[in-house]
């Protein structure tokens, strides 16, 4: 056969020549011909009154963007995962340790970790995001400087850790000691902000599948974060995206790492419980 992968672009366009609808499509995401992703599933119990089915943001993207995520070589987000692998093995800080000194092979020790974050931290008596745990490791465990919250080093380390859970279902706990934080996050999700007077729900619960200008609104799921955005050719963290969303309502935003965004991350993650971890996903 003479035709190659490049022709796939045209083939996909031909298969759906007029994408007039902005609704979620019925494509299936299998990464590297190996990892079958759950990209649509029944909503978790706590959402049952509001949403029937939870849908990955992947379904709202064009075919060209979708296929970029179906192969690790085509996914530019994997560049950052490779860079984080170097960080993982680099000795940092006064204690002469690397991540690997304590955690060994990331491909073994970090399996499943992404699926349960954010989660309650007993010792610190608060809900911890993966970023907080990474910074604790750096400062307390390694005697190194903390990384900038949602900065590029942090985003790529989150991506490396997340990759180890690809295909596994998101499963953050919302009861027990985390419940109060989860409730705070829920409150924020439904609170309208900014000159445009929009809540998260205004777009991502009431209007997913509709257009906002010429873009397609997704459900705002976090299972693909950190996400590689074609827009700026970088990884964006969940908190970075939250900040952009709140800014787009023309409000003063909370900062990455703020208690508000930690609570919101837990709540939004819980709305995706059951979807496969996709990070690093590819979005526009």
**Structure token digits, residue 123:** 């010792």
* Tally of CB atoms within 10 A around 55: 22
| Among 5, 45, 94, 175, contact with another protein (rule: CB under 8 A) | 5
**58: nearest Cα among 87, 31, 94, 91:** 31
- The nearest distance, CB 17 to another protein, in angstroms, is 8
Cβ proximity to another protein: between 6 and 123 the closer is 6
The 10 Å CB-count burial string (b at 16+, else e) for 100-126 is: eeebeebeeebeebbbbbbbbbeeeee
By beta-carbon proximity to another protein, the closer residue of 35 and 173 is 35
> According to CB under 8 A, which residues from 46 to 105 bind another protein?
61-68, 70-71, 73-74, 76, 79, 82-83
**CB-based contacts of 191: which residues, under 8 Å, 6+ apart?**
199
Alpha helices in 104-237 (DSSP H): 106-109, 113-116, 130-136, 152-163, 179-189, 200-204
The interface region with another protein, picked from 20-28, 102-110, 115-123, 138-146 by CB under 8 A, is 20-28
Instruction: Please report whether residue 12 would count as binding another protein according to CB under 8 A.
Output: yes
Q: Is 45 in the site for another protein (CB under 8 A)?
A: no
137 carries an active-site annotation: no
Distances (CA, A) of 274 to 13, 115, 172: 30, 10, 10
Looking at 15, 122, 176, 252, which residue binds another protein (CB under 8 A)? Answer: 15
Three-class DSSP category at 36:
strand
Examine residue 123 and tell whether it contacts another protein (CB under 8 A).
no
Residue range at the interface with another protein (CB under 8 A); choices 21-29, 142-150, 185-193, 262-270 = 21-29
CA atoms of 276 and 154, how far apart (whole Å): 22
Binding site for another protein (CB under 8 A): 2-15, 17, 19, 26-30, 32-33, 61-68, 70-71, 73-74, 76, 79, 82-83, 211-217, 229-233, 244-245, 248, 283-284
Catalytically annotated residues: 245
């Amino acid at each position: 056969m003479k035709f190659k992968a490049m022709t796939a672009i045209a083939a996909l366009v031909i298969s759906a020549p007029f994408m007039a609808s902005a609704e979620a499509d019925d494509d299936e995401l299998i990464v590297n011909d190996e990892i079958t992703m759950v990209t649509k599933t029944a909503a978790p119990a706590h959402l049952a009154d509001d949403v029937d089915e939870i849908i990955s943001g992947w379904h709202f993207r064009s075919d060209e963007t979708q296929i970029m995520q179906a192969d690790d070589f085509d996914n530019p987000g994997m560049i950052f995962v490779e860079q984080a692998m170097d960080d993982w093995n680099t000795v940092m800080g006064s204690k002469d340790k690397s991540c690997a000194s304590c955690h060994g092979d990331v491909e073994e020790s970090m399996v499943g970790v992404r699926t349960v974050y954010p989660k309650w931290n007993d010792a610190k008596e608060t809900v911890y995001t993966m970023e907080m745990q990474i910074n604790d490791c750096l400062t307390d465990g390694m005697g190194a400087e903390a990384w900038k919250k949602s900065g590029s080093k942090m985003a790529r380390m989150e991506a490396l850790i997340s990759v180890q859970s690809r295909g596994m279902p998101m499963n953050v706990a919302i009861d027990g000691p985390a419940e109060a934080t989860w409730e705070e996050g829920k409150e924020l999700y439904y609170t309208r902000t900014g000159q445009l007077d929009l809540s998260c729900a205004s777009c991502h619960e009431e209007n997913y599948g509709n257009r906002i200008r010429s873009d397609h609104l997704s459900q705002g799921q976090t299972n693909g974060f950190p996400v590689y955005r074609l827009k700026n050719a970088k990884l964006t963290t969940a908190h970075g995206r939250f900040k952009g969303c709140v800014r787009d309502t023309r409000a003063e935003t909370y900062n990455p790492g703020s208690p508000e965004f930690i609570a919101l991350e837990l709540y939004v993650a819980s709305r995706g419980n059951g979807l496969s971890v996709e990070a690093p996903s590819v979005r526009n």
